[in-house]
Amino acid sequence: MKFAAALAGLAMTFSSAVFAQDLPDLGGKEIVIVTENAYPPLQFLDKDGKAIGWEYDALAELAKRMNFKVKYENISWDAMIPAVSEGQFDMGMTGITIKDDRKEKVDFSEPYMRSEMLMIVRGDEARFTDAASFAAIPELLVSAQPGTSPFYAAIYNILDGNEENPRVVKFETFGAGLEALKTGDVDLTLSDSTAANGYVAASNGALKIIGEPLASEDFGFIFPKGSDLVAPMNAGIAALKADGTFEALNKKWFLDYKMGQ
């Protein structure tokens, strides 16, 4: 898969010198991390209600190597950046796109993953095949979670730039918007390739991806402004990229894991 190959390439771009360096020892410190648990395969709840995913595995490895403990809290997406900005939590994770406007409120880690924005439709969709043909049919609707990259991609990459465009049906979670697509209440859902490829692979043909990627984006962890955790986390991210750990997690969660287990 092109996506997996791109991630593998990203993981191997760091030199062996980074891999060899000693990582910071955080002395058993407890770090409170907030997430949404609604963004497979990065973080979500399995059928038994256990929180799992790529980000959980990555943080477990970072905690082991840098000697810190993790306490997880849960919050909605729209409240996450304000809560971290206000110092309610030490760190946030939920596939957060690194953007300049968000940097005014929180500090970001270095990117741990790059992804592309993709268009998801029902498997039998034949009315449109790309962004232009979707935009040309005024009765068609797209689902989106306000304030997210898919929302802005729908507005500015597909539609007319009006953030109140009624063709964008707003949902509180990505999962709710995806269910609306499956039931025919909307005609299109956008997601970065991390989630899109997983959902389509698990759908047994009920969903498919159309058109070209709308944009690429980098994901990072977020911290309160001035946090002293940014530097050690960046060192850990670089080490896990360099030694192939992230590449192994990509294979586990994007190629081997069967969504919906």
SS (H, E, C) 82-131: HHHHCCCCCEEEEEEECCHHHHCCEEECCCCEEEEEEEEEECCCCCCCCH
Higher pLDDT, 49 or 116: 49
Q: Does 42 share its domain with 11?
A: yes
- Coil, helix or strand for 207? strand
108: domain range? 2-114+218-256
Most confident of 13-27, 33-47, 187-201: 33-47
pTM, to two decimals: 0.70
Q: Does 227 share its domain with 102?
A: yes
Residue 243 lies in a domain: yes
Most confident of 142-151, 231-240, 251-260: 231-240
Q: Does 200 share its domain with 131?
A: yes
Tell which residue, 183, 211, 185, has the closest CA to residue 196: 211
| pLDDT tens digit sequence for 56-81 | 999 999 999 999 999 999 999 999 99
Residue 143 lies in a domain: yes
pLDDT number for residue 160:
95
pLDDT number for residue 190:
95
Q: Does 156 share its domain with 29?
A: no
CATH number at residue 100: 3.40.190.10
Mean of per-residue pLDDT scores for the chain: 89
CB 186 within 8 A of CB 180: yes
Q: Does 165 share its domain with 204?
A: yes
Token pair listed for 261: 């287990």
Cα dihedral sign, 214-260-4-210: negative
Residue 261 lies in a domain: no
Q: Does 25 share its domain with 149?
A: no
Higher pLDDT, 2 or 133: 133
Q: Does 84 share its domain with 166?
A: no
- Coil, helix or strand for 215? coil
Q: Does 64 share its domain with 16?
A: yes
